[in-house]
Chains A and B, each alone.
Chain A
């Protein structure tokens, strides 16, 4: 084997080694890589009551009610389950029904998610307002579909 082939082998071994290590590591720590839990996860009791968690999903259409001052209540849904959320504070500009949101907070013992911060989650679709109006009411546009949300606990299928 020539020197050059040895170096080629070394580089290939390094790349494969790092790749395998990364794959194994990220597979083992899949839960920790998830930025948020889905409503299906929380409904299945993946997170204990009172523990800090992030909940991600869509603000269910028709579920938003505003209380005194900055208090709001709404339900966050994925394709299968929905969780009531209570929040008091400033909402991001993009917050609206049907919009993706990520809420920091915890589940209380009444099975309500008490949020301390709400972020809007934008999707990958960009279009001018006229196009958006034309698409309204068409369920097949993929607009804010529940597809991007992956259950953290693999046994909880959000189908």
Chain B
């Protein structure tokens, strides 16, 4: 098990592993999202109070759940990158941030669109909305910090520190509706009470769970692909990249075949 893990941490092994795994996440993920959207829009009954406006939940709740999960995953990768100095974990941190920022923005926008007809306002500064906005800023901070350094390893480590500091916001977002009075309602599915005693009719809940599962798979596929890109970019001068990837590229691509030897090969003694 551990040896397999160590092998996976080596960029070429990871690259081949991700190449094989990504389609197995992407295709079921998109299928699930497709079925969930169809069921959510046409099969699930309208809500007794909100009517059809509630259907935005099939986008909003998965996006919000992903925004927190991705941040948690990013900071776990950050801790691994900082403690074990693992290159692949550094790549994982910086590649997760834009995906997380997108899901956070989606959660905020869909929430605002739902808030206007339901609450009567797009936005108000309650604990849940504000902490989710802070989460978006944290993601944007990680993206910005990554752009601010020329050296990818320094940049990734700075991003990892920021990801670790910001992880305190994840429980705040999740529990904000329990700890404080808020405009946002409590958890419909992700709380101990809601799991014991479902707060949503089963025919409405089923598409929501499918949509969530689909979004997680979709995120997994996108993350793997982005990490592959990140690994290629970092290792572009390494022998395995030249041997495996470059023959597949058209020969007349500018800068497609960098000269042999360089910083990438010089650092091959590095861990991972």
A residues apposed to B, CB below 8 Å: 4, 7-8, 10-11, 14-15, 18-19, 22, 26, 30, 33-36, 38, 56, 91-94, 102, 117-133, 142, 148-150, 152
Contact = CB atoms under 8 A, between A and B. Distances in A.
B118 interface: yes
B57 interface: yes
Interface residues of B, number: 44
A34 B168 contact: no
Main secondary structure of the interface of B (DSSP, over half): loop
A124 B164 contact: no
B216 to A, nearest CB: 21
B179 A7 contact: no
A19 B75 CA distance: 14
B241 interface: no
Contacts of B200: 125-127
B132 to A, nearest CB: 14
- CB-CB nearest 6 A-B residue pairs: A92-B120, A132-B48, A128-B45, A35-B126, A129-B48, A126-B200
Nearest to A22: B168
Contacts of A11: 79, 82-83, 164
B117 interface: yes
A18 B166 CA distance: 9
Contacts of B172: 22, 26
A113 B82 CA distance: 54
Contacts of A7: 82-83
Contacts of B19: none
Given A11-B82, A15-B167, A123 B127 contact: no
B50 to A, nearest CB: 7
B49 interface: yes
Nearest to B116: A92
B181 A150 contact: yes
B115 to A, nearest CB: 9
